[in-house]
């Protein structure tokens, strides 16, 4: 996900380029299991300070259901919006002073390369739901025998009521 932006840096503010992005991201992060390539379109706009990268990206990933622990696939879509700043003046070749906002992930290197890898990795991790579920009505696992309740009930269900609920149940049963 590396783009040479030397020409765009020489352009006037407001000039832009568009790219189709299609990347194999299997090596991006050990916590991400992609089932497809990362796809989308990105736009790079020359700003007064650098280059603003925007875009919408899509990828299918494998997740583990937080209720039933089964693997399932889901399509994620996320937006990219990050301003990259040059570390070298494109005209003079002089090193530019860094500001407090400059993170390595959003620096344009001395060869005028924008590398989207780290910002894509961070944005994709944020796009993954913290407690993914395989379906909205996933019934989860029996806490006692571990049976996947999506595949049917188990026999131990009724014995495992909270003792306070057990009292209530007895009252209701009477």
The span from the CA of 21 to the CA of 133, in Å, is 29
Q: Which is nearer to Zn ion, 128 or 142 (CB)?
A: 142
Q: How far is the CB of 35 from Zn ion (least distance, A)?
A: 17
CB of 151 to Zn ion, least distance (A): 11
- What's the min distance (Å) between Cβ of 117 and Zn ion? 31
Residues contacting 21, CB < 8 A, separation 6+: 1, 38, 39, 40, 41, 42, 55, 57
Rounded CA gap, 55 and 150, in Å? 38
* Interface residues toward Zn ion, by CB under 5 A: 65, 67-68, 134, 138, 142, 144-145, 147, 154, 156
Contact predicate 109/96, CB 8 Å? no
Residue 169, CA distances (Å) to 43, 68, 154, 160, 162 in order? 61, 27, 19, 12, 10
Q: How far is the CB of 75 from Zn ion (least distance, A)?
A: 17
Closest CB 146 distance from Zn ion, rounded Å: 7
- When the beta carbons of 121 and 147 are compared against Zn ion, the nearer one is 147
Of the pair 127, 142, the CB lying nearest Zn ion is at 142
CA angle 159, 163, 164 (to 5 degrees): 135
Nearest residue (CB) to Zn ion, 127 versus 154: 154
Nearest residue (CB) to Zn ion, 24 versus 155: 155
């Amino acid at each position: 996900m590396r783009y040479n932006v030397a020409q765009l840096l020489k352009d006037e503010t407001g000039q832009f380029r568009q790219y189709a992005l299609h990347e194999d991201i299997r090596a991006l992060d050990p916590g991400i299991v992609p089932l497809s390539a990362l796809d989308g379109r990105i736009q790079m706009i020359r700003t007064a300070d650098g280059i603003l990268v925007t875009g919408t990206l899509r990828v299918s990933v494998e997740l583990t259901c937080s209720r039933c622990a089964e693997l399932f696939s889901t399509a994620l879509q996320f937006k990219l919006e990050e301003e990259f700043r040059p570390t070298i003046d494109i005209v003079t070749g002089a090193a530019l002073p860094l500001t407090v906002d400059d993170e390595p992930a959003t620096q344009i290197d001395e060869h005028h390369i924008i590398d989207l890898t780290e910002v894509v990795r961070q944005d994709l991790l944020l796009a993954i739901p913290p407690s993914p579920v395989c379906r909205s009505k996933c019934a989860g696992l029996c806490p006692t025998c571990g049976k996947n309740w999506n595949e049917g009930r188990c026999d131990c269900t009724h014995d495992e009521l909270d003792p306070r609920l057990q009292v209530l149940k007895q009252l209701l049963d009477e």
